[in-house]
Chains A and B, each alone.
Chain A
Amino acid sequence: MKIAIPVDENKPSTGVCVSFGRAPYFMIFDTVSGENVFMDNSAAASQGGAGIKAAQFIVDAGAEVLLTPRCGENAAQVLSAAGVRMYKTTAGSASDNVAAFRAGNLQPLLETHPGFHGHGR
């Protein structure tokens, strides 16, 4: 199973990025190989619809689980339609959160926020 997390830096000690759609990188942890892969988030620089594009990226990468502090409603719609499960990250590094998820200690992400649509509101 692949677990995706929006992150600030492309190294395992990285923190979780506060934004999903505009995170600079995604860390994808493969539970089979036990390895982390870091991928550039091409949606980060989008003028609009970044959440949709980032969610598409997660779906295309074959992740089944997304660990994120928050998620916009459009992205959530894409992810849930594709069957990607979402969990809310807690304090700690991206790797800490992967461990917490595998130990069953993360809660499902139930709340999504309306899009910012370039207005930053």
Chain B
Amino acid sequence: MAGNRKIAVLSGKGGTGKTLISVNLAAVAGKSRYIDCDVEEPNGHLFLKPFPLSEETVAVRIPVLEEARCVGCRKCADFCRFNALAFLKGKPVLFEEVCHSCGGCVLLCPAKAFSERGKEIGRIQRGPSGSVSVTTGILNPGEASGVPIIRKLLEDAAGEESLPVFIDCPPGSACTVMESIKDADYCILVAEPSVFGAHNLAMVHRLVKLFHKPYGVVLNKCMPGENPSAAYCLENEIPVLGTIPYDKELGLLNSEGSIASRENSRYESLFSDLLRTVYLEVSNEAASDS
């Protein structure tokens, strides 16, 4: 099928099965790309075990003040909308971890008192796992925002439209998730069968609507009895792409860091069916757009 298969997997809370679904979809997709955007706790590599790994560091630009040039006009501190610059005793004082690297102070300074330096905030690792190219973003502990790393990670997927791409998103619906789904062609929302699960599903549902992304839901950990997330899908006319049972064997394989679809033909067909459904939805969306 034609390109446009950047598929983001997200959920309103952690532990719903984003990584389970994205690594297994990548594994059954043949030649594909898996990108772990959950940079605060990337774990897809524990399953896919890419080897050999190459690594690059990610840095952001931080302003550096040359005090002798500063004329104390305060324009930089007044301009900074992130409040990263205080103005004390006639000079700006930078709070690095609050700085968003916008470069505004550097541009604005009439005395050209600012230069910039690189500040390392994390790393990107790349390596193959069978037919899957694995890219993992790792944010250094203590850093405030993983957005610059996610932006860099997704450059890998830009322009390579022939390969299906599976984007494993951070949990929740904040900045890092928005950055992760920004260029996605389709969003898979993973939901648990509980009231809390349905609440978190509603959060990401609002997010993908806000971004005008086509989407569908995978109901994970399904058990007999009521499923508030399924009820939410029914109420809101959200397509359910597939259901994954609350299954001891699947849990066991997953807990051992195995990729279920590579170990067991039952799960191989479960995730292959899910992938087919997702591709069908993606191509329907592409057709209805044109």
Task: Assess whether B83 is in contact with A59, with CB atoms less than 8 Å apart.
Answer: no
Task: Assess whether A74 is in contact with B77, with CB atoms less than 8 Å apart.
Answer: no
Q: How far is the CB of B140 from chain A (nearest CB, A)?
A: 15
Contact among B77, B81, B84, B89 for A82, CB-based, below 8 A: B89
Contact among B77, B81, B82, B144 for A56, CB-based, below 8 A: B77
Main secondary structure of the interface of A (DSSP, over half): helix
- B95 at interface (Cβ–Cβ under 8 A)? yes
- B93 at interface (Cβ–Cβ under 8 A)? yes
User: What residue in chain B is nearest A82 (Cβ atoms)?
Assistant: B88
CB-CB < 8 A to A55: which residues of B?
A: 86
- B71 at interface (Cβ–Cβ under 8 A)? no
CB-CB < 8 A to A12: which residues of B?
A: none
Interface string of B69-112 (1 = CB under 8 A from A): 00000000100011110111100010101100000000000000
CA distance A42 to B88 in the complex (A): 18
Q: How far is the CB of B191 from chain A (nearest CB, A)?
A: 23
- A33 at interface (Cβ–Cβ under 8 A)? no
Known A48-B98, A78-B93, A117-B144; contact A53-B83, beta-carbon cutoff 8 A: yes
CA distance A15 to B82 in the complex (A): 29
Q: How far is the CB of B145 from chain A (nearest CB, A)?
A: 8
CB-CB < 8 A to B87: which residues of A?
A: 56
- A52 at interface (Cβ–Cβ under 8 A)? yes
Interface residues of A in 60-74 (CB under 8 A from B): 74
CB-CB < 8 A to A43: which residues of B?
A: 83
Q: How far is the CB of A119 from chain B (nearest CB, A)?
A: 8
Task: Assess whether A74 is in contact with B98, with CB atoms less than 8 Å apart.
Answer: yes
CA distance A74 to B82 in the complex (A): 13
Task: Assess whether A52 is in contact with B89, with CB atoms less than 8 Å apart.
Answer: no
Q: How far is the CB of A33 from chain B (nearest CB, A)?
A: 26
Number of interface residues of B (CB under 8 A): 14
Task: Assess whether B95 is in contact with A52, with CB atoms less than 8 Å apart.
Answer: yes
Task: Assess whether A49 is in contact with B83, with CB atoms less than 8 Å apart.
Answer: yes
CA distance A56 to B84 in the complex (A): 11
CB-CB < 8 A to A77: which residues of B?
A: 95
Interface residues of A in 68-121 (CB under 8 A from B): 74, 77-78, 81-82, 115, 117
Task: Assess whether A81 is in contact with B82, with CB atoms less than 8 Å apart.
Answer: no
Task: Assess whether A81 is in contact with B83, with CB atoms less than 8 Å apart.
Answer: no
Contact among B77, B93, B97, B98 for A81, CB-based, below 8 A: B93
Interface string of A33-51 (1 = CB under 8 A from B): 0000000000100111110
Task: Assess whether A52 is in contact with B144, with CB atoms less than 8 Å apart.
Answer: no
CA distance A74 to B99 in the complex (A): 13
Task: Assess whether A49 is in contact with B82, with CB atoms less than 8 Å apart.
Answer: yes
Task: Assess whether A52 is in contact with B88, with CB atoms less than 8 Å apart.
Answer: no
Q: How far is the CB of B13 from chain A (nearest CB, A)?
A: 15
Contact among A46, A53, A81, A117 for B89, CB-based, below 8 A: A81
Query: Which residues of B are interface residues toward A (Cβ below 8 A)?
Result: 77, 81-84, 86-89, 93, 95, 97-98, 144
- What are 26 A-B pairs with beta-carbon distances under 8 A? A47-B82, A48-B98, A49-B83, A49-B84, A49-B95, A50-B83, A52-B84, A52-B86, A52-B95, A52-B98, A55-B86, A56-B83, A56-B86, A56-B87, A74-B95, A74-B98, A78-B86, A78-B93, A81-B86, A81-B89, A82-B89, A115-B97, A115-B98, A117-B97, A117-B98, A117-B144
Query: What 9 A-B pairs are tightest by C-beta distance, nearest first?
Result: A49-B83, A53-B83, A49-B98, A52-B83, A78-B86, A81-B88, A117-B144, A82-B88, A56-B86
Query: Which residues of A are interface residues toward B (Cβ below 8 A)?
Result: 43, 46-50, 52-53, 55-56, 59, 74, 77-78, 81-82, 115, 117
